[in-house]
Structure 1
């Protein structure tokens, strides 16, 4: 059945669900990213960025050349070693000290940035505007560096026009010496005159420059901007890591998701901590009874609703019912759920026997028999050293609730078929005197005899909480398949809405697992490290 359910159950985590499940990790990643971004900003020296623009007019001598091609040639001129060397000399003279070198304007690690226009279509706005930026730790040097580049460019451009014009005139004068007719001579003289005029006109047309102003704010010293950038990057990174982790370790994020896996209905959603909402100081304590601490609270009503589902199951199976409550791993909250259900079912008038079959913990016994002094119980009844009637005690919390305590461990070991037969006898005698028998079973994945215990009951209910791994529930379903037991439903412990310190406690609890014994911490730690869990205990 587990494989069949898995085939029809396609659980794909969502980003929102993954962030909610691993919120502690996401918060840690975001805070770390913001801290790194702010730290790098504070650690780096301030850098000022001075920016200027230049509009390059196309000379008359290059009228036959395409405008975009001419602009490309001027950008190359701006990036040339000649302009870099001129700019360093101009800037140092203006500053009155040797600060900049040719390498600051050209080469690897240069502080100069030249940005050609994005639009190169003739006639388009900004098609011939080139942006020049210079970055330096000193604002004055940054300003002089940007302006020196434009002055050097103007000088280099003028020299280029002069050189080109002189070459044109020299060629014409050479042709004049070889002229054979007066007509040829006249034409060549006119061409030389035109070339000289064009040269002077081109030299007179300087580029239109918007000079750089001295920057007032560093480009890398904005802590707020770095923090916001780190926040955005951290959020994306944290959400991505959470989604990757959720995809690798799939869990339940919603109380309706387990219904598709177990092919069973949700019997009820109960508070995660099984505590009284009227006792805020006890938040997070799994051993509080909502039915007695605050009988008119929303938590108590949730258990009454779940008790109604149990009564309907009882009506389907007969007047008397033995019901086992199981979970994947040891969890005291399961015992609190059984204790609250026992009180809620008793309110309807049914006689209830609550059996604490988890001798390693005795959580159910402590909840329903707070002042109990005897050490005999379920273990002694199975071993045959005490009778059922001798060990059953009535709970002071409700007159119709009786409890079979867990009892102290005994020297004799009962397992296998003998254990199954003994449990069936105990449950049979229990149903003879009580209408509903609720069995708090040990963790099905950790205690071997829990399988026989469940097999002896007429029905089984799975108790689970938020963010429990899907793999563990598949294993639980596989063990139920071995005894051909199908859950009649499941109870989901809802995650309470918390704020402030309580929310932080929930995040820590979610990350570490809600276990309170050294052995439980060892089991969970080995699960995190990917090592196999300890061998299941064998109990009577």
Structure 2
């Protein structure tokens, strides 16, 4: 048996975790999307007005490079002077004191100036600048954006006029100080040219695409909020699913247990198919496909498992006692033992099925439907009753004999006394039956189960997809404490659908009476009767 585990084999992936916990991921996604949509519907509507401006280079700044001039215009856009002018113009247009300087400058401003994409401060280039103004009202947003552009145009014109006046004043001082006629003529020509350029610059305004009144709020789109919520929910759900999967590693593949037990797969049991779903949940699955639907894929899988057990018995050329163990305490193990017993008995091999799990008693209910409760395994190991007084032939097949579990005793037999009693019971059973199948409690739940494994000739682990890897690592540790001969494992594939539905179906399947169809029961009884006469 393997005691070292391939740790990397069971490391989950994000998509695998999302598939495993798909219901959790779906719930989280729906909740986040609903929260996003709800937030968008309760939020105050905000509008954004959009405008653009292209600034021509002035004639007075022909000596500057185009990039340098555009940089100066971007800085002018961001200046306090433009912000002050914009406040006055906007409030005048609104006929109310709505906006203040903080809405155009400083932190938390409603105004955004976007230089050309990819440009860096100091190298903006002479291209279009975008201006947006965001406000809870559409008209204020439009007025704020347009007031800002108008304020920039006024500030630009004022700056050009101041620059032109300064240059003209400098030329006039030079004219007054000149002493030669030639220099005087040149300076007078320069003054005239400067005055002409000044008038041209004042007459040339930036090209402005004025902001229209926005019709749709930027935050009131519930569809977009829902889409963003779905993406965020999937990311959050995937992260939580992966975290959960890393903490609770599971068996997802039928060959995963090989890495844990170093034992072969001797049975791959598919889930029982749905039957009469509309008539009630109790009949949704068949715990005994060998009796209820002998031609089903599940029944054939149990025949394959029974064939593996028979080959092990033939290879040892002796009567065989096989104990079936599992990591948990559900009824899946009992179903496997019951179906394997019926499959072996089809060939006429006498089988004793031992229900050693008094807390569940599921095997007894499956193979002895409707039989009254009586003494059984618990009383035999306690020395209160012999085996012959506690066995009963199964009505499903005359070659299957059942040692019922018996009522649990308050004073349990444990330790050496239990091991000795179990050894004696198995020896007595093997003297009368060629094959003994023992439905053992989980070794993780009851210490006595280890003695059952030790006294049996072979052990088979029953497990389902989705079981905890850590539980089976603990199982290996328990089985390694005794000289167990683990010959293989049976893998039960779980059906699709939500876990709570599967659990409800399993709970209904645990009822003590198993509903065998009347015609099939009569057919089986007649077959058994013919066999006994032969």
TM-score, normalised to structure 2's length? 0.88
Q: Which of 275, 297, 316 is the matching residue for 1:278?
A: 275
Deviation at 1:412, TM superposition (A): 4.7
Once structures 1 and 2 are overlaid, which stretch shifts more, 33-42 or 222-231?
33-42
Q: Give yes or no for the alignment of 1:317 onto 2:316.
A: yes
Retained in 2: the 8 A contact 1:252–1:467? yes
Matched residue of 2:274: which SS? coil
Q: CA 1:127 to 1:290, structure 2 compared with 1: closer, same or farther past 3 Å?
A: farther
Once structures 1 and 2 are overlaid, which stretch shifts more, 379-388 or 278-287?
278-287
1:89 maps to which residue? 88
1:368 maps to which residue? 367
Deviation at 1:376, TM superposition (A): 0.5
Aligned mates of 1:136, 1:34 — CA distance in 2: 26
Retained in 2: the 8 A contact 1:84–1:105? yes
Q: CA 1:204 to 1:465, structure 2 compared with 1: closer, same or farther past 3 Å?
A: same
Retained in 1: the 8 A contact 2:374–2:390? no
**Cα deviation per residue 1:413-455 (whole Å; 9 max; x = unaligned)?**
3222322222122112222222221111111111111111111
Once structures 1 and 2 are overlaid, which stretch shifts more, 275-284 or 326-335?
275-284
Deviation at 1:197, TM superposition (A): 2.0
Deviation at 1:299, TM superposition (A): 2.6
1:192 maps to which residue? 191
Aligned mates of 2:233, 2:126 — CA distance in 1: 39
**Cα deviation per residue 1:145-202 (whole Å; 9 max; x = unaligned)?**
2111111111111111111121222222222222232222222222222222222222
Aligned mates of 1:337, 1:279 — CA distance in 2: 23
Aligned mates of 2:7, 2:103 — CA distance in 1: 66
1:529 maps to which residue? none
Aligned mates of 1:9, 1:26 — CA distance in 2: 24
Deviation at 1:282, TM superposition (A): 3.4
Matched residue of 2:17: which SS? helix
1:55 maps to which residue? 54
Aligned mates of 2:474, 2:309 — CA distance in 1: 25
2:460 maps to which residue? 461
2:145 maps to which residue? 146
| Paired residue total | 506
Q: Give yes or no for the alignment of 1:116 onto 2:111.
A: no
Retained in 2: the 8 A contact 1:139–1:216? yes
Deviation at 1:515, TM superposition (A): 12
2:525 maps to which residue? none
**Cα deviation per residue 1:396-423 (whole Å; 9 max; x = unaligned)?**
1122111111111235532223222221
Retained in 2: the 8 A contact 1:259–1:265? yes
Retained in 1: the 8 A contact 2:115–2:124? no
1:445-456 aligned within 5 A:
445-456=444-455
Aligned mates of 2:126, 2:254 — CA distance in 1: 61
Q: CA 1:128 to 1:418, structure 2 compared with 1: closer, same or farther past 3 Å?
A: same
Retained in 2: the 8 A contact 1:277–1:297? no
1:505 maps to which residue? 500
1:232-247 aligned within 5 A:
232-247=231-246
Retained in 2: the 8 A contact 1:276–1:294? no
Matched residue of 2:491: which SS? strand
1:134-533 aligned within 5 A:
134-272=133-271, 275=272, 277-280=274-277, 281-282=280-281, 288-410=287-409, 412-498=411-497, 503=498, 505-506=500-501
Q: CA 1:120 to 1:13, structure 2 compared with 1: closer, same or farther past 3 Å?
A: closer
Retained in 1: the 8 A contact 2:276–2:284? no
Once structures 1 and 2 are overlaid, which stretch shifts more, 334-343 or 350-359?
334-343
Matched residue of 1:6: which SS? coil
Aligned mates of 1:187, 1:457 — CA distance in 2: 122
Deviation at 1:319, TM superposition (A): 4.2
Deviation at 1:125, TM superposition (A): 13
Q: Which runs of 5+ in 1 are unaligned?
A: 518-540
Aligned mates of 1:247, 1:322 — CA distance in 2: 38
Aligned mates of 1:297, 1:147 — CA distance in 2: 78
Q: CA 1:36 to 1:491, structure 2 compared with 1: closer, same or farther past 3 Å?
A: same
Matched residue of 2:10: which SS? coil
1:103 maps to which residue? 102
Q: CA 1:504 to 1:440, structure 2 compared with 1: closer, same or farther past 3 Å?
A: closer
Retained in 2: the 8 A contact 1:276–1:289? no
Retained in 1: the 8 A contact 2:287–2:509? no
Matched residue of 1:353: which SS? strand
Q: CA 1:305 to 1:504, structure 2 compared with 1: closer, same or farther past 3 Å?
A: same
Matched residue of 2:267: which SS? strand
Q: Which runs of 5+ in 2 are unaligned?
A: 511-534
Aligned mates of 2:316, 2:69 — CA distance in 1: 93
Once structures 1 and 2 are overlaid, which stretch shifts more, 237-246 or 287-296?
287-296
1:532 maps to which residue? none
TM-score, normalised to structure 1's length? 0.87
Retained in 2: the 8 A contact 1:278–1:294? no
Matched residue of 1:426: which SS? helix
Matched residue of 2:5: which SS? helix
Aligned mates of 2:65, 2:303 — CA distance in 1: 86
Aligned mates of 1:94, 1:348 — CA distance in 2: 100
Retained in 2: the 8 A contact 1:332–1:363? yes
Aligned mates of 2:187, 2:455 — CA distance in 1: 120
Retained in 2: the 8 A contact 1:287–1:367? no
Aligned mates of 1:102, 1:373 — CA distance in 2: 91
Q: CA 1:260 to 1:515, structure 2 compared with 1: closer, same or farther past 3 Å?
A: farther
1:12 maps to which residue? 11
